[in-house]
Structure 1
Amino acid sequence: MKLVKLNNELEIPVVGSGTNTYGKEDNAFKGELRGDTQEIDWAIENGYRHFDSAQVYANEEVVGKGLNQSDLKREDYFITTKLNTNKGFAGHDWITAEIEKSLEKLQTDYIDLFLIHFPWDNSDEIVEVWRVLEEYYNRGVFKSIGVSNFEEKHLDPILQNGTVKPDVNQIESHVGKWNDALIDYNKSNDIATVAWSPLAGIDEDAKQVLQEIGDRYGKTYAQVVLRYQIERDVIVIPKSHNKEHQAQSLDIFDFELTADDRQRIADL
């Protein structure tokens, strides 16, 4: 597995597993928890060591249980989770309470990467939340900190007022919405980009182009997309409820796209 070094020197696997529907009935985002860890177990067996979770997914305990019952040592895997700011800010005590809940559900005493999940229209409050994350970072409870779904206008106040630079900005980036300008902004500030749902947006026309490229390398259209993303220095967190497809998403390190391939994909 290729590792990417964040701006604080922490290394993160360039391919991770999304988890937002794992352990849920009918594989539905709002489904009730089934009580098993099947998809996490498969991911571990396939070789995943980077797991992307969030409070809003309402299944952090599935990730925690699956990892805790595995043969892996804590230092062998990388956990991301995110503060649920979908409704904005609810005070300092709320932040610390939610962080403690995540630690308990994930069955760990530290989190490798902790993100603010969504921006909202109050830069002072965003900076206040960021300072709490900085406290946990400085205590070693968070090994790295960052944001998710932030645009330049949301990141600028943190960069101007924070004492710890965000390590990561997790954003939408996929066929039809590569988000190049924001990725360039992240790079210019030494902030790593993580793409959520990196296999979204692929219609039949795009699939035909991608599979045509993939056929030359013996790869699927999905593997071509993931390869394109990591070649542009984007960390990816694909998700699948199919064990074979999970494995395929990791099998992207034995080929390299040509300049022509990359241009055709960029144009989709």
Structure 2
Amino acid sequence: MEYITLNNGIKMPIVGTGTNTYGKENKDYNGALTNEIPELVTALELGYRSIDAAISYRNEELVGGILAESSVPREELFITTKIPAREEYVSSKESTRAAIDNSLKNFQTDYLDLLLIHAPIEDKEQLKNTWKVFEEYYEAGKLKAIGVSNFRKNHLDELKEFAKVKPAVNQIQINLKEKNEDLLALLQDEGITPVAWGPMKTEAHQQELLDEIGKAYDKSGAQVLLKYQIQRGVVVIPKSHNRANQAANLDLFDFELTAADVEKIENL
């Protein structure tokens, strides 16, 4: 595994696994919860250490139980979760504290590696109060890093007005269908690590070229796509319920895309 160093010195695995459909009937985001997450068990066995969760996924307790029961030491795990931008979580500092405390309980840990605001909070006072609580828990060592998700430039500018701690990451959609190049450049200029959700999305013609590029490296088009992102400093959190695909999504560190191949991908 390779790591990226966040702006506060914390190291984050550059590849992680999403969990938004784990432990749910029919692998459906809105499906009823089951009592098992075999996908996470296999991910841990294969070497995934960065686990991307969220309160909105409704499965924190299930995910946390698997992590706590696994043989992987806590210090080797990088656990991310997210606070929803909903009234019940951000209406007051007390509600935000309660949400963080409950996440710590769900993950059976005394600290989280990364906590994000899941989406922009439109009420500026609520945004300020929420971030102040994040900073409070960060300073107490209960959060190793804090950040945001789905924030655009205007949201980041609002946060700048009062934040004492700069966001370590902004988790946004980055893929060949939604490139988000302007925002990506801004984040890298600001020293905020971009984390890509939905990194595998492509159009059919794009997938054909990725598959063709992959032949020279004995890799799949999906592996080429993930490698393209991590070569330019983007953390990726692909998700799969299939062991073979999970393994392939980690098998990215024995090849390097040439400048010519990178250019072909950028021109898609």
Smaller-chain TM-score range?
A: over 0.9
- Provide the rounded CA distance (Å) in 2 between the counterparts of 1:48 and 1:139: 27
**Match for residue 185 of structure 1?**
186
- Provide the rounded CA distance (Å) in 1 between the counterparts of 2:264 and 2:128: 40
- Provide the rounded CA distance (Å) in 2 between the counterparts of 1:33 and 1:71: 24
TM-score (norm. length: structure 2): 0.97
**Match for residue 230 of structure 1?**
230
Counterpart residue type for residue 67 of structure 2: L
**Match for residue 112 of structure 1?**
113
Higher mean C-alpha deviation, range 85-94 or range 9-18: 85-94
**Match for residue 151 of structure 1?**
152
Asked if 2 retains the 8 angstrom alpha-carbon contact of 1:37 and 1:65, the reply is: no
Q: Deviations over 1:15-41 (max 9, x none)?
A: 000000001111000111110120110
Give unmatched runs, 5+ long, in structure 1: none
1:114 counterpart SS class: strand
Deviation at 1:189, TM superposition (A): 1.2
**Match for residue 98 of structure 1?**
99
1:54 lines up with 2:54 in the alignment = yes
Counterpart residue type for residue 175 of structure 2: H
Counterpart residue type for residue 178 of structure 1: K
Counterpart residue type for residue 84 of structure 2: N
TM-score (norm. length: structure 1): 0.97
Deviation at 1:86, TM superposition (A): 4.7
Higher mean C-alpha deviation, range 55-64 or range 115-124: 115-124
Deviation at 1:176, TM superposition (A): 1.9
Counterpart residue type for residue 220 of structure 2: T
Q: Deviations over 1:111-144 (max 9, x none)?
A: 0000000003223321221111000000000000
Higher mean C-alpha deviation, range 122-131 or range 244-253: 122-131
- Provide the rounded CA distance (Å) in 1 between the counterparts of 2:224 and 2:267: 14
2:116 counterpart SS class: strand
Deviation at 1:267, TM superposition (A): 2.3
- Provide the rounded CA distance (Å) in 1 between the counterparts of 2:248 and 2:47: 11
**Match for residue 72 of structure 1?**
72
- Provide the rounded CA distance (Å) in 2 between the counterparts of 1:122 and 1:84: 14
Asked if 2 retains the 8 angstrom alpha-carbon contact of 1:53 and 1:80, the reply is: yes
Count matched residues. 267
Deviation at 1:71, TM superposition (A): 0.5
Deviation at 1:224, TM superposition (A): 0.5
**Match for residue 173 of structure 2?**
172
Give unmatched runs, 5+ long, in structure 2: none
Asked if 2 retains the 8 angstrom alpha-carbon contact of 1:123 and 1:154, the reply is: no
Asked if 1 retains the 8 angstrom alpha-carbon contact of 2:92 and 2:129, the reply is: no
- Provide the rounded CA distance (Å) in 2 between the counterparts of 1:89 and 1:101: 14
Asked if 1 retains the 8 angstrom alpha-carbon contact of 2:17 and 2:238, the reply is: yes
Counterpart residue type for residue 142 of structure 1: L
- Provide the rounded CA distance (Å) in 2 between the counterparts of 1:186 and 1:175: 18
**Match for residue 137 of structure 1?**
138
Deviation at 1:160, TM superposition (A): 2.7
Runs of 4+ in 1 over 2 A off after TM superposition: 86-89, 120-125
Asked if 2 retains the 8 angstrom alpha-carbon contact of 1:148 and 1:170, the reply is: yes
1:12 counterpart SS class: strand
Counterpart mapping for 1:229-268 below 5 A: 229-268=229-268
